Structure 1
Amino acid sequence: MTALRITALTAAACATVLAVAVPSSAINSYNATPAPERTEVGALVATWDNDDDPSTPDRVDWVCSGTMVDADTFLTAAHCTTDWPDDVRFYVSLDQDVQSALDAAGKKYPGDPAAQARAVGVQGVAHTHPDYPGPSSDPHDIAVIQLPAAQVAARWSFTPATLPAAGRLDALGPQGLNSTDWSVAGYGTQEAVNGPGGQTHPGGGVRMKAPLSFDALNKSWVRLAMTAPQGNGGACYGDSGGPNFAVLDGKPVLAATTITGDGPCYATNVAYRLDAPGARAFLSPFVRLP
């Protein structure tokens, strides 16, 4: 789910993982570290109208995570780019600490969300899978933001993520998947904290990473364990659309994108496979596939 929408969902609703896909969010606190070297991983920032005057935006915030897969294409989740007001505008930031950048922009440009968004990111055009939301077997929960490459290159230096070849995860088989090193990255919040008012998810807005371990694979999904006793970390609210890397042939490959998981963000990250036919068919007009 997007970072801004978590308060509307109960833990029970968040546990409904596939029948009604609940977006996931941030990197949790245990076994996680900052990821300044993952310069291809960015935050999706949105501006939109939230009052009775639609002529100008009055809200701005980071809402999801994602990854640059070439010089002008930012890969994220479809649930991050849908169900917004008509005047929504999307920006991409590759800053390590997007929340601090937004805070500084808010002080510099008070009352001007558009200027604040431009201060932290580059505006792009969203392309959402036309068949989203699909069935649980393949929800088509994938989207890209097309960006002006020159503007991105002028602000940040990065190497685009490597996408997997068709059927790469299937070819590994159970033994290969279990022995593969997995990690997740994103800007999301932390695991649930119990307080007087119920559960909250603190943090978010800083690019983090955490190790995962393989759990299960099916047609469109890879499930990855986030359990702390095994040395894992994991994803949470705001990490939706962000990368799940698998080390293949000694190199990190963007194997899947975070979509959903358990509500408290302690157990499982459910990620959309990028080596599957549906994801590859959507991506092929935007990026060269291996």
Structure 2
Amino acid sequence: MNALRVSAVTAAACATVIATAMNSSAINTYNSSPAPERTEVGALVATWDDDADPGTADRVDWVCSGTMIDADTFLTAAHCTTDWPDNVRFYVSLDQDVQAGLTAAARQYPGDPAAQANAVAVEGIAHTHPDYPGPAADGHDISVVELPAAKVAARWSFTPATLPTADRLGELGPRGLDSTDWVVAGYGTQEAQRGPGGHTHPGGGVRLKAPLSFNALNNAWVRLAMTAPQGNGGACYGDSGGPNFATLDGKRVLAATTITGDGPCYATNVVYRLDTPDARAFLAPYVRLP
């Protein structure tokens, strides 16, 4: 949903610069919890130019979520890595609290966005699906950031997420997926809060997780319910590109990535399947597929 695309950047305090660069979500307060054990889940950090001097990056912030799928490949959403100023640089952090790290780095390195980014993250090279943005049936909203494996390993310990086999979700079908345990993770903001100035989405920058339940399966998408009365939590702005894990055959599998949902972040998480021929073809040059 386009509203989520804008708010992911808003949560990172840069919507006025690149309002078209983002698409989704964050983890809600209800039925959610911290996720320090999900060390493969990270935040996408960016530096970019935001003034009249195009040669100098002067902004830095976390902007999306994602997952390490091998030692040097970070999976996220295409809308997280497109429509930026030409001098944008992307970084990945696997810290539990990226926002706190950036706040401390701003005090230590005032006026130096690159130093602030390097204090919390490792720089990489983004590769976006060449057919993004695609039609509604399959938006090709998938991207990876290739990282120097040695630098990542020197800073964090993690086990890469397991990707699904070809058409695994299709094989299970709605009945099988309905009985599957689902968990979303990410760094995004919280569900809409009503205040004097209208609705806001506070928080963000800390890795959280929440349970979801299956709603519907499409050729490229899964729709997951975030309704609190059913014990679900959910995603919100800033969770774009982050993982939606499904327990398949007793194993945690990265089945899909968060892309969009409803504006207030109360009802539905719309996620991009990773078991489709298109997603697998895009990922094949970067990671060994099961």
TM range (shorter): over 0.9
**Matching residue of 1:115:** 115
Contact 2:8 2:23 in 1 (8 A): no
Residues 1:8 and 1:146: Cα distance change in structure 2 (over 3 Å): closer
Report the AA paired with residue 101 of structure 2: A
Residues 1:21 and 1:228: Cα distance change in structure 2 (over 3 Å): farther
CA distance in 1, matches of 2:276, 2:10: 29
1:214-264: per-residue Cα shift (whole Å, max 9, x none)? 000010000000000000000000000000000011111000000000000
> 1:77-226 to 2 correspondence within 5 Å?
77-226=77-226
CA distance in 1, matches of 2:182, 2:25: 17
| CA drift at 1:8 | 9.4
Report the AA paired with residue 76 of structure 2: T
Task: Confirm whether residue 3 of structure 1 aligns to residue 8 of structure 2.
Answer: yes
Which stretch has the larger CA shift, 184-193 or 54-63? 54-63
CA distance in 1, matches of 2:204, 2:255: 23
Contact 1:193 1:200 in 2 (8 A): yes
| CA drift at 1:25 | 1.2
**Matching residue of 1:53:** 53
Contact 2:22 2:79 in 1 (8 A): no
CA distance in 1, matches of 2:22, 2:81: 14
| CA drift at 1:24 | 1.7
CA distance in 1, matches of 2:210, 2:21: 22
Report the AA paired with residue 234 of structure 1: G
Contact 1:22 1:260 in 2 (8 A): no
Task: Tell me the secondary structure at the aligned position of residue 164 of structure 1.
Answer: coil
Contact 2:21 2:84 in 1 (8 A): no
Which stretch has the larger CA shift, 167-176 or 228-237? 167-176
1:23-50: per-residue Cα shift (whole Å, max 9, x none)? 2211000000000000000000000000
CA distance in 1, matches of 2:205, 2:21: 23
**Matching residue of 1:270:** 270
CA distance in 1, matches of 2:9, 2:22: 13
Task: Tell me the secondary structure at the aligned position of residue 100 of structure 2.
Answer: helix
**Matching residue of 1:253:** 253
| Percent of aligned pairs with the same amino acid | 79
1:22-79: per-residue Cα shift (whole Å, max 9, x none)? 8221100000000000000000000000001122210000000000000000000000
Give the TM-score, by structure 2 length.
Answer: 0.94
1:142-192: per-residue Cα shift (whole Å, max 9, x none)? 000000000000000000000000000011122211100000000000000
Report the AA paired with residue 9 of structure 2: L
Residues 1:21 and 1:274: Cα distance change in structure 2 (over 3 Å): farther
CA distance in 2, matches of 1:173, 1:84: 38
CA distance in 2, matches of 1:88, 1:97: 23
Task: Confirm whether residue 282 of structure 1 aligns to residue 287 of structure 2.
Answer: no
Residues 1:21 and 1:119: Cα distance change in structure 2 (over 3 Å): closer
Runs of 4+ that moved beyond 4 A: 6-9
Task: Tell me the secondary structure at the aligned position of residue 44 of structure 1.
Answer: strand
Give the TM-score, by structure 1 length.
Answer: 0.94
Task: Tell me the secondary structure at the aligned position of residue 68 of structure 2.
Answer: strand
Report the AA paired with residue 269 of structure 1: N
CA distance in 2, matches of 1:81, 1:272: 16
Contact 2:221 2:270 in 1 (8 A): yes
Count of residue correspondences: 280
5+ unaligned residues in a row in structure 2: which ranges? none
5+ unaligned residues in a row in structure 1: which ranges? 10-19
**Matching residue of 1:13:** none
CA distance in 2, matches of 1:262, 1:25: 9
Report the AA paired with residue 66 of structure 1: G
CA distance in 2, matches of 1:32, 1:204: 13
| CA drift at 1:5 | 3.6
Which stretch has the larger CA shift, 167-176 or 215-224? 167-176
| CA drift at 1:287 | 0.3
Aligned-pair Cα RMSD in Å:
1.6
